[in-house]
Amino acid sequence: MNLAGPSVCTVHRPADAASIAAAARLLRDGRLVAFPTETVYGLGADATNAAAIARLYAAKGRPSFNPLIAHVGDAETAMREGSFSTVAQKLAASFWPGPLTLVVPVAETTRICDLARAGLRSVGLRVPAHPIAHALLAEAGRPIAAPSANRSGHVSPVTADHVIDDLGEKIDLVLNGGATNVGIESTIIACLDNRPRLLRPGGIAREPIEAVLGEPLALLDDGAVGGPIAPGMLALHYAPRAALRVDAKALEAGEAGLDFGGRFARGKHVLDLSPRGDTVEAAANLYSYLRRLDASGVETIAVAPIPAEGLGEAIRDRLRRAAAPR
């Protein structure tokens, strides 16, 4: 096998049993395969194979101090890789399969290599709810590390075409499952001490999580945990080429508009995330619309105010990072 040679990227439209089996073989051989999850497309590599993980960091241009999420087929498998407190088990039982990542202490029995965990003693685990991801994990028979399948720092991909645009020549295969339905990355919760903490708002809103916990969900910096436990939470992230002006009440001359709830005047470069003001719909449209407005060539994209409820918390988080000074 020649891992150094140029790779040929094949897109299967749509992914079928044969292409999923081929993808699983590639993964077991240490190659890179992009696949759909319910949140965004992931760039997968065998989490137990350090050489494959090194290749993945290189393809993405991602710093190797930023740990990867390991995807597994079910909660039972996750519990072999990580050590789950009662609360972590409760969250897993309530939201898996689904857009929730749990960061837990790594288990003695883990197969996930140090490099995939960026050397941390914790591990991020997720059971995705997508039939193609599920079938791929079953065929691969091992945890698959998968960051979002975009160049590091760029907007996450929600279609196979987005993956090709960003990484086409660097990966071996893309399984095409059409547009993802949640559209924004998983919610990440650390269960490392007696209090679960939100590391990244995402596809499951705070409200249903707090309903399960029976208490408010603490943030990363609310006390106890010391040190940078979420090394990936870099300020500039999810960034389009154009500058972003958030919480804009109206469009200024020359700006493109990313609207919410029909606030801006209609125009050639105005897209409404959800004319009816629904944050779930807005999350599903966010990254595609950012890419489309970016492609129009404007210098600035004005973004209408998004309410902080429901998936609005995650959308606001991504927009704030995309708008950070470069």
Residues that bind ligand TXA (CB under 6 A): 37, 39-40, 42, 66-69, 99, 101, 103, 117, 120, 122-124, 126, 128, 146-148, 185-186, 188, 199, 229-233
| Contact flags string 190-209 toward Mg ion, x per CB under 5 A | --------------------
Residues in Cβ contact with 232 at an 8 Å cutoff, skipping those fewer than 6 apart: 66, 67
Q: How far is CA 204 from CA 77, 237, 294, 313, in A?
A: 22, 20, 27, 10
Q: Report the b/e string of 135-157 with b at 16+ CB within 10 A.
A: bbbebbebbbbbbbbbbbbbbbb
Six token digits for residue 63:
């710093």
Q: Among Mg ion, ligand TXA, none, what does residue 204 contact (CB within 5–8 Å per kind)?
A: none
Tell the smallest beta-carbon distance from residue 98 to Mg ion (Å): 18
Q: Which residue, 190 or 304, has its beta carbon nearer to ligand TXA?
A: 190
Q: Among Mg ion, ligand TXA, none, what does residue 126 contact (CB within 5–8 Å per kind)?
A: ligand TXA
User: Residue 37 interacts with Mg ion (CB under 5 A)?
Assistant: no
Tell the smallest beta-carbon distance from residue 115 to ligand TXA (Å): 12
Q: Which of 19, 101, 148, 181 binds Mg ion (CB under 5 A)?
A: 148
Q: Among Mg ion, ligand TXA, none, what does residue 304 contact (CB within 5–8 Å per kind)?
A: none
Tell the smallest beta-carbon distance from residue 140 to Mg ion (Å): 21
Strands 10-12 and 173-175: parallel
**Crossing angle for the helix pair 312-322 and 279-295, nearest 10 degrees?**
20
Q: Which residues lie across from 230 on neighbouring strands?
A: none
Tell the smallest beta-carbon distance from residue 36 to ligand TXA (Å): 9
Determine the straight-line distance between the first and last CA of the chain, rounded to whole angstroms.
40
Contacting residues toward Mg ion, per CB under 5 A: 148
